[in-house]
Amino acid sequence: MGLQKNSWVARGAEGWGPGEVLDYYKKAEDHSGGPSQYHGTGGPMPVQDVPYVNPLSEAFLEAAGELGYRRNLDFNDWSAPQDGFGRFKVTQRNGERCSTWNAYGGARLGARKNLCVRTGCLVTKVALEGSGDDLCACGIEYSSAEGHPRRAQLAAGGEVLLSAGAVQSPQILMLSGLGPREHLAEVGVDVRKDLRGVGVGLQDHPSVLVSYGSSKPVSITDEIRLFGTSFPNPLTTLKWLLAGKGALTTVACEFGGFFRTNSKCDQPDLQVRFVAAKALAADGISTLEKFGAGLKTTPGYTTQLVGCRPSSAGTVRLRSASPHEKPIIDGVHLSSDADVVTLREAVKLGRKICTTRAFDRYRTEEVYPGAAVQTDAEIDEYVRASVHSANALTGSCRMGAANNPMAVLDPELRVRGVGSLRVVDASAFPHIIGGQTCAPTIMLAEKAADMVMRQRAALKSYSQSYQQHAAAFMNAQAQAQAQAQAQQPAAAA
């Protein structure tokens, strides 16, 4: 991960190299294994292993070792290669997923006198004033939970921090008149600043599945549900409620690894997420929806195969000038044939892992892609038909150098040519990273907070200095005037 962060600097994001961002990762982290060169303690985000191991997950570790891959004991150790298999750390506390809202004390924010949280609202645009080089944000316009138009005005010296994500941040900018001139004109939005890069370069980790049935009822779903029904297993529920342990603590894919699909890759281009459950559909999102809806399950196991360094990049575009219409997302998955090749080879590796001796005591039929899918052309067809998101949308308002016309933000996350406006979310990534995007997004937010506070301190210092100089000047003027008045009678005499 550290090596790839250098590529952010190479793309014009000065100040975002490994040595400059590591402390922000550590600041946010409370690592259960204690502090180290690459881990922090005492931060708001608890980082630990899931307190549960399924027998099928143990078989996965055995299978990857059987194929000759290295065991990776810490995927966050930047001094070692990313390659290998092992356990992924999770953000969890007492057996329960911990979001940034919970970790950073979201429930207590209402007690702060300098913060007002509005829920159920829809931001419709950034309010702007001025023009040309003097264009700046002066607030936001939004629709209240009751559907009434509202406006929040910036106080003197304030800033708008846009953190709506890699789809809605560019949407809001374009609705505000900040985006590609031709596109804004097409949908009837008045252009306030021609920013060609807004909504361009959207990336995601494309994913496909390889899944098999199991002859033994040892899947996660077998522990969570009673006999594959929609009814919860009371023993599993009690174990979680009383001890914060057991199958209900799983995030489903806490085992896996990073691999290279060909020898020409200088870094792993594939992440494998092992799931100790059989897929209910050819894509992971549909499987989760069906499981949540109570669909009957049967035993099995799955590898979700994630193209973690894709070359495809898409766009976010407005459907109309209405903020209530969802934007158009195009080309984010498999617009590059190279990503199809990566996932084709990934399917082959997934099959190798799932058919090792380690799984012989469990394996039954291949569910996805299915035994009939064998040739490269057939695998490619399966990939194109079943590709789905690994939930890593980034890069649609990327930061970069001043001479890059597609860079929406400078390295301070400020929108170019617009005062008092920053974008603080994963859309600012110069390009997608080869791993999970949650921790890098938190790191970016921590660094952005320092940037905002430094600027505020500098403005305060400048204001105080200006006031002191102004006071000294006025005092000197007053003294000079007093001296002049004192000398007038003597001169008259």
Q: For 246-262, what is the mean pLDDT?
A: 97
pLDDT of res. 196: 98
> Contact, 59 vs 299, CB < 8 A?
no
- pLDDT tens digits along 407-453: 999 999 999 999 999 999 999 999 999 999 999 999 999 999 999 99
Long-range contacts from 95-103, C-beta under 8 angstroms, 24+ separation: 95/51, 95/240, 95/243, 95/244, 95/245, 95/246, 95/248, 95/249, 96/244, 96/249, 97/251, 98/45, 98/46, 100/44, 100/45, 100/442, 103/44, 103/45, 103/46
17-69 pLDDT, tens digit per residue, is 999 999 999 999 999 999 999 999 999 999 999 999 999 999 999 999 999 99
CA distance 250 to 72: 20
Domain spans, the chain: 49-93+204-389
pLDDT at 477: 79
> Angle at the Cα of 90 (from 438 to 290), degrees rounded to 5?
85
Q: Are 240 and 249 in contact (CB under 8 A)?
A: yes
Torsion of CA 258, 264, 267, 270, to 10 degrees: -30
Q: Which tokens sit at 460?
A: 């305060």
Distance CA 201, CA 397 (A): 8
Structure tokens, 4: 């790839």
Helix axes of 18-28 and 438-492: crossing angle, nearest 10 degrees: 100
Do residues 277 and 221 make contact, with C-beta atoms less than 8 angstroms apart? yes
Q: At what angle do helices 337-354 and 55-66 cross, to 10 degrees?
A: 110
Residue 314 and residue 317: Cα distance in Å, rounded?
A: 10
Joined tokens for residue 480 = 């000079």
Class (C level, CATH) for 49-93+204-389: alpha beta
CB 2 within 8 A of CB 21: no
Closest CA to 248 of 217, 211, 223, 231: 223
pLDDT in tens, 288-345: 889 888 889 999 999 999 999 999 999 999 999 999 999 999 999 999 999 999 999 9
Per-residue pLDDT at 492: 47
What is the number of other CB atoms lying within 10 angstroms of the CB of residue 99?
A: 12
Order of strands, edge to edge, in the sheet holding 136-143?
Answer: 122-129, 136-143, 149-153
User: Per DSSP, what are the bridge partners of residue 221?
Assistant: none
